[in-house]
């Protein structure tokens, strides 16, 4: 039977009177805050970035695939506001954590963002609140990292407050699926936690998928992305093998895609990008070591994908060598620095590694990306580069054009007409005809 604390929160959620607090207003948190506000919940977004706070409070979007109208619709004190004042967490009935979970320099989970966030929540935690972690992580995080600090002052998870994990499933720039159309996996610490978490998410998504525990929900997210990592590694390795055999990997993938069952196409590229796929496999392999269980298959996939930028640069160097040019001193125009096409998301983009490798080998690097006018600072890279105009003169002056991201807004016909050498990691030039440039796939 539901106790009074559970009933009270369920009633507030059903009446859309539960105050929702979203911590972290990035690619996961902002869409989530928008959907809760559109569903009628009063929403407060929490972030340390004053620019994001001002943008939300004035109805401006700072993420390309989220239109300004979406933020304008929910902006304002009555629907959704943003703040850096975390003491307001006391007023929230449901708190959703959407903070980064990167890797350390040793490829191990970096829990500092989660730990810092949970410490702040613990300071203002009160009876009757629901705390949900959405950040991708290893199985056991909710129980071992989130729960203990929250219980430190005497409140008990599952009884005095509710605790759950529900993995984010954002895919920036996906024209088919968005936050409100993707089913949500939910794992509660106990049945009461599961019930209130499902009620909350059920207000904004078409279906909630209950699992037996937060651990199972955490593992679900890892499975989804490790599945993609392994299959991308497969086609990246086949790309290298087939090239030596004189076989076009893109033609093979297109032919295999005609099979209506038992096959799903994945595509090669210059490396993995985005917050999840390059990182999630290492979360599981790290956790598996605690149980003395090897994950050789997963680790091998990670190694193959991580090695792709070096392979691309080697291919570029060989192509320049064929033209009696050295990579050192060559002018390289990099096309696309976002991690995938038609987004402005730079997280873990392989283009950043490509720039590093090019500079290490003495090349002069410029880039063009219609969605990234200035390369932002990242945890690892501090480049001082701005996107250059993609003029015929700029293309002609470059010794090679390296296509890292195939944005649809780029004029590939202009590139094919004016470049002397194109190294194409995305098969972007396949549909362009005629092409005067020499095109090398990598």
Q: What residues are labeled active site?
A: 276
Q: What is 358-384 written as a DSSP string?
A: HHHTT-EEEEE-TT-SBPPP-SS----
- As a whole number of Å, the end-to-end CA separation of the chain is 61
Q: Which two tokens stand for residue 294?
A: 């090897």
Kindly state the tokens that stand for 338: 């976002």
Look up residue 336 and give its two tokens.
């696309």
Q: What value, to the nearest 5°, has the Cα angle with vertex 364 and ends 309 and 427?
A: 40
Cβ atoms 404, 425 nearer than 8 A? yes
Query: What does the buried/exposed string (b/e) look like for 213-247 if buried means 16 or more CB atoms within 10 Å of the residue's CB?
Result: bbbebbbbbbebbbebbbebbebbbebbebeeeee
Question: In this structure, are residues 328 and 335 in contact, taking their beta carbons and an 8 Å threshold?
Answer: no
Radius of gyration of the chain (CA): 24
Which candidate, 28, 127, 125, 35, places its Cα nearest to that of 79? 35
- Token pair for 107: 């490829």
């Amino acid at each position: 039977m539901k106790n009074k604390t559970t009933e009270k929160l369920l009633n507030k959620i059903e009446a859309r009177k539960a105050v929702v607090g979203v911590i972290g207003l990035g690619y996961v948190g902002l869409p989530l805050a928008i959907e809760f506000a559109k569903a009628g919940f009063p929403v407060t977004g929490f972030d340390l970035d004053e620019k994001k706070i001002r943008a939300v409070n004035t109805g401006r979007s700072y993420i390309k695939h989220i239109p300004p109208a979406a933020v304008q619709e929910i902006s304002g004190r009555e629907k959704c506001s943003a703040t850096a004042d975390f003491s307001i967490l006391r007023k929230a009935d449901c708190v959703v954590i959407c903070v980064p979970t990167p890797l350390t320099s040793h490829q191990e989970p970096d829990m500092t963002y989660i730990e810092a966030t949970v410490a702040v929540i613990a300071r203002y935690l009160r009876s009757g609140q629901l705390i949900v972690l959405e950040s991708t992580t290893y199985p056991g995080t909710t129980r071992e990292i989130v729960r203990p600090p929250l219980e430190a002052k005497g409140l008990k998870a599952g009884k005095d407050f509710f605790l759950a994990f529900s993995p984010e499933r954002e895919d920036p720039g996906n024209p088919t699926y968005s936050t409100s159309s993707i089913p949500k996996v939910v794992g509660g610490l106990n049945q009461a936690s599961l019930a209130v978490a499902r009620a909350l998410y059920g207000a904004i998504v078409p279906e909630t998928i209950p699992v037996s525990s937060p651990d199972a929900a955490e593992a679900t997210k890892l499975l989804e992305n490790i599945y993609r990592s392994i299959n991308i590694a497969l086609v990246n390795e086949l790309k290298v093998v087939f090239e030596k055999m004189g076989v076009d990997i893109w033609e093979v993938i297109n032919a295999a895609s005609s099979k209506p069952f038992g096959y799903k196409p994945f595509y090669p590229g210059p490396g993995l990008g985005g917050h999840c796929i390059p990182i999630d496999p290492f979360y599981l392999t790290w956790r598996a070591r605690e149980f003395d269980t090897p994950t050789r298959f997963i680790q091998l996939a990670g190694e193959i994908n991580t090695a792709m930028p070096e392979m691309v640069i080697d291919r570029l160097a060989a192509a320049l060598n064929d033209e009696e040019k050295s990579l050192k001193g060559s002018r390289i125009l990099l096309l696309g620095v976002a991690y995938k096409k038609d987004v402005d998301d730079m997280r873990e983009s392989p283009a950043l590694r490509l720039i590093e490798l090019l500079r290490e080998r003495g090349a002069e690097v410029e880039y063009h990306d219609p969605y990234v006018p200035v390369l932002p600072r990242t945890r690892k890279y501090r480049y001082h580069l701005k996107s250059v105009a993609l003029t015929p003169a700029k293309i002609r002056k470059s010794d090679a054009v390296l296509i890292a991201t195939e944005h649809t807004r780029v004029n590939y016909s202009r590139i094919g007409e004016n470049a002397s050498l194109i190294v194409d990691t995305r098969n972007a030039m396949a549909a362009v005809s005629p092409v005067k440039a020499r095109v090398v796939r990598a």
